[in-house]
Amino acid sequence: MADNFHSITFEITTGTAEVALDITDRCAAFLDTTAPGRDGLLNVFVPHATAGVAVIETGAGSDEDLLAALRDLLPSDSRWRHRHGSPGHGRDHVLPGLVAPHATLPVIGGQLALGVWQSIVLVDTNRDNPRRTVRLSFLG
Amino acid sequence: MADNFHSITFEITTGTAEVALDITDRCAAFLDTTAPGRDGLLNVFVPHATAGVAVIETGAGSDEDLLAALRDLLPSDSRWRHRHGSPGHGRDHVLPGLVAPHATLPVIGGQLALGVWQSIVLVDTNRDNPRRTVRLSFLG
Amino acid sequence: MADNFHSITFEITTGTAEVALDITDRCAAFLDTTAPGRDGLLNVFVPHATAGVAVIETGAGSDEDLLAALRDLLPSDSRWRHRHGSPGHGRDHVLPGLVAPHATLPVIGGQLALGVWQSIVLVDTNRDNPRRTVRLSFLG
């Protein structure tokens, strides 16, 4: 592995409810360890077909608002063709079409160059998969 | 061109219906040729204003479900201001606002680090443009 | 800073109306200065929790169509939990969940490899924040 690329995976408990989980601290800790003082790009990726990565404010209701908007835009009803699980589960498979499972973000001096109100969030509406993997990759 | 960057384009037939076309094999073949055993990021990009790139499950209905959701969210009716083509065609130009025409994904040991159920999909609702270009770029 | 990475920020006036502002020229000028003739990836990032980056056609109504679609999908009403500002402002905080605040795009020979009809657009529905920062980063 060349020194300019580092990648890890970690597991996270998402439980059995819809969640928008703040993983910013995990991303920052990864950069502290693997890219101290360095510049480049951080790629955040979830290797799941029913989850996405968003960059939004957390702690003031917007994480819940995003989940509510997704319930409205992708209703958990019988409209979906996806043939596995309960009918409403089909929406979870459309989610990554709107909230992509990847985000690539600037890193300056070993720090994520996020805005004050931005957090990196794992969006997971799938109640049947309580554990998730996240892959973080730094390229500098 | 530096050895750490490789980029190609290829053409793909999307036909005259709405499609969500699995291009994962094309991406894997590109990496086999240009980045065997290497680590880095794959950028998938469609240089079109009426197409997007999604990472979803294929083969179990979710590709059709995504197209159906987009028909619901961006109806093919007369609401659009876009002045070219038929009125409903305006929705195709809004599509890349929701399903972005780019995806940047981790590559580990020359392989896409996708989840078991993830595929890379070209989303094209434009029935008037039956041939599309895709650009694949590896940066390691 | 290694020679293969360059990053700047610039400020842009978005005013007090909803806007989809074409910033393609700013991106091209950045590459002209920092990456002439070079290959790599351009990361476009807005460090704000109420804005996004889209790659769409401009000048033929689609920028207005995207804003109209977002008004329909994320209505400016009292449904939002976000507790700051006016109730409808909560939608602005959900926007980056659908129109992500980042885009990573291929650069070939110092030029953005965009399609003929593609522009890079800052999407900002927040009327209370008339000045915005954009970060451009080249990694080659």
Better-scored residue on pLDDT, C129 or B9: B9
Res C108: pLDDT: 98
Quickly count helices (H) and strands (E) in chain B: 3, 8
**Domain coverage including residue C119:** 5-139
Q: Are C43 and A43 in contact (CB under 8 A)?
A: no
Model confidence at A2: pLDDT above 80 = no
CA B61, CA B52: separation in Å to the nearest integer? 18
What dihedral angle (degrees, nearest 10) is formed by the CA atoms of A20, B55, C120, A118?
20
The DSSP code for C70 is: H
Res B1: pLDDT: 46
Mutate to test the interface with C, among B71, B76, B93 (most CBs of C within 10 A): B93
Res B14: pLDDT: 94
Q: How close C115 gets to chain B, by Cα (Å)?
A: 4
Maximum CA extent, chain B: 51
List, in sequence order, every beta strand (DSSP E) within C15-130.
19-22, 40-45, 51-56, 102-108, 111-112, 119-124
Does ipTM surpass 0.85 in this model? yes
Cα-flanking dihedrals φ and ψ of residue B32, to 5°?
A: -55, -40
CA B122, CA C2: separation in Å to the nearest integer? 35
Res C129: pLDDT: 86
Mutate to test the interface with A, among B46, B53, B104 (most CBs of A within 10 A): B104
Model confidence at C1: pLDDT above 60 = no
Model confidence at C31: pLDDT above 50 = yes
CA B68, CA B64: separation in Å to the nearest integer? 6
Per residue in B36-50, pLDDT tens?
999 999 999 999 999
Is the Cα torsion angle B29, B5, B38, A101 positive or negative in sign? negative
Q: Are C50 and C92 in contact (CB under 8 A)?
A: yes
Tally the domains of chain B: 1
CA B41, CA A7: separation in Å to the nearest integer? 11
Model confidence at A89, in pLDDT bands (50, 70, 90)? Answer: very high
Contact C5 A55 (CB under 8 A): no
Res A1: pLDDT: 46
CA B51, CA B99: separation in Å to the nearest integer? 8
Nearest CA in chain B to A79: B65
Per residue in B80-135, pLDDT tens?
998 788 778 999 999 999 999 999 999 999 999 999 999 999 999 988 889 999 99
Give the CA distances from residue A92 to residues A10, A31, A66, A71, A97, in Å, rounded to whole numbers and listed in that order: 22, 30, 14, 10, 10
Res A85: pLDDT: 80
Q: Are A50 and C75 in contact (CB under 8 A)?
A: no
**What does the pLDDT average to over C106-118?**
98
Res C2: pLDDT: 62
Q: Are C91 and C125 in contact (CB under 8 A)?
A: yes
Question: Is A108 in CB contact (< 8 Å) with chain B?
Answer: no
Provide the CATH number for the domain around residue A125: 2.60.120.460
CA A14, CA A133: separation in Å to the nearest integer? 10
**pTM check: above 0.90:** yes
Model confidence at B137: pLDDT above 90 = yes
Question: Is A24 in CB contact (< 8 Å) with chain C?
Answer: no
CA B48, CA B62: separation in Å to the nearest integer? 23
Set of chain C residues whose Cβ sits within 8 Å of the Cβ of B82 = 57, 60-62, 65
Set of chain B residues whose Cβ sits within 8 Å of the Cβ of A98 = 69, 98-99
Q: Are B128 and B30 in contact (CB under 8 A)?
A: no
Gyration radius of chain A's alpha carbons: 16
Question: Is A54 in CB contact (< 8 Å) with chain C?
Answer: yes
Per residue in C114-138, pLDDT tens?
999 999 999 999 888 899 999 999 9
Per residue in A9-48, pLDDT tens?
999 999 999 999 999 999 999 999 999 999 999 999 999 9
Set of chain C residues whose Cβ sits within 8 Å of the Cβ of B1 = 39
